[in-house]
Structure 1
């Protein structure tokens, strides 16, 4: 399971709100066309998504306020792709989350990194045994998440997130 994301222009947001089936096309392209390539996601957190969520919320599945909504927040929209439907975050939510993510520093997140607790909470991919290497893996993807939200926030964009 990986988490992907896509920024939405105002026109794309309008299209998604008018017809939630558009979500699949925006995230995955034309799956009915064997020749079509799947579009590259603008955000790909690989398998780090759940570990980052844990660092932001201290929980496996609860969605927190501000930065705690960065991974699992938003409103479910569109068809279920197997791991739940994609989620839509409106521009105001994106700005609030971006601000909260920018306020976090690495030391705060390092203090929350507890491989034993993460294993006990069954944080995917449930392989938290490499200490510093695991934390560095999460931080490289956290930096990508922060950039993604910041870019969308300064552009006034909404976001789609999906676990695939």
Structure 2
């Protein structure tokens, strides 16, 4: 499973909202293939959510900008996970990401807690230095895509598949 963060305009968001859940993910994949700006956090999305919030993304925290950074503010219905953050909702999320002291968080990280909480993927007994490096890269991508969406005055659609 991986998380894809795709920048979209207002018309595309309106179209996505009107789709039935069974075609939403395939439509997003078509947008990505057609060149819609997309950033992938790959397998580290749940690990980032746990690092930033202390809970798995399977139980996102409402009104928590760090949780929303990973899974979005709004969730589409259906079996697949698709969320959205509208352009006017990006600023507090970016501010929250900017306030994270990632070096401090990673210095104190307890990967055994990730394993105990069954955070996806089941890699938390791997080399801690490698895990820290992957989380660092994923955080940088997460921060970058939110800023990119804000700068482009676009909405951000998050799909985890």
| Structure 1 counterpart SS, 2:43 | helix
Deviation at 1:138, TM superposition (A): 0.9
**Matches of 1:43 and 1:96, distance apart in 2:** 20
Deviation at 1:99, TM superposition (A): 1.8
Structure with the largest fraction of helix: 2
- Residues 29/119 of structure 1: CA separation in 2 closer, same or farther (3 Å cut): same
RMSD: 2.3
Determine the structure 1 residue equivalent to 2:43.
47
Divergent runs of 4+, >4 A:
none
Structure 1 range deviating more: 93-102 or 48-57: 93-102
8 Å contact 1:58–1:112 — kept in the other structure? no
Structure 1 range deviating more: 44-53 or 151-160: 151-160
1:27 maps to 2:28 = yes
1:114 maps to 2:113 = no
1:5-154 matches, within 5 Å, as 5-17=5-17, 19-21=18-20, 23-24=24-25, 26-29=27-30, 38-39=33-34, 42-60=38-56, 61-64=58-61, 65-77=64-76, 79-80=78-79, 84-129=80-125, 130-154=127-151
In the comparison of the two structures, how many residue pairs are matched?
154
Structure 1 range deviating more: 129-138 or 111-120: 111-120
How far does the alpha carbon of each residue in 1:110-146 deviate from its partner, in whole angstroms, 9 at most, with x for none?
1452111111001111211211110111111110110
Mark the runs of 5 or more structure 2 residues left unpaired by the alignment. none
Deviation at 1:160, TM superposition (A): 0.7
8 Å contact 1:94–1:157 — kept in the other structure? no
TM (normalized to structure 2)?
0.82
8 Å contact 1:94–1:153 — kept in the other structure? yes
- Residues 25/121 of structure 1: CA separation in 2 closer, same or farther (3 Å cut): closer
**Matches of 2:34 and 2:95, distance apart in 1:** 28
TM (normalized to structure 1)?
0.81
- Residues 38/131 of structure 1: CA separation in 2 closer, same or farther (3 Å cut): same
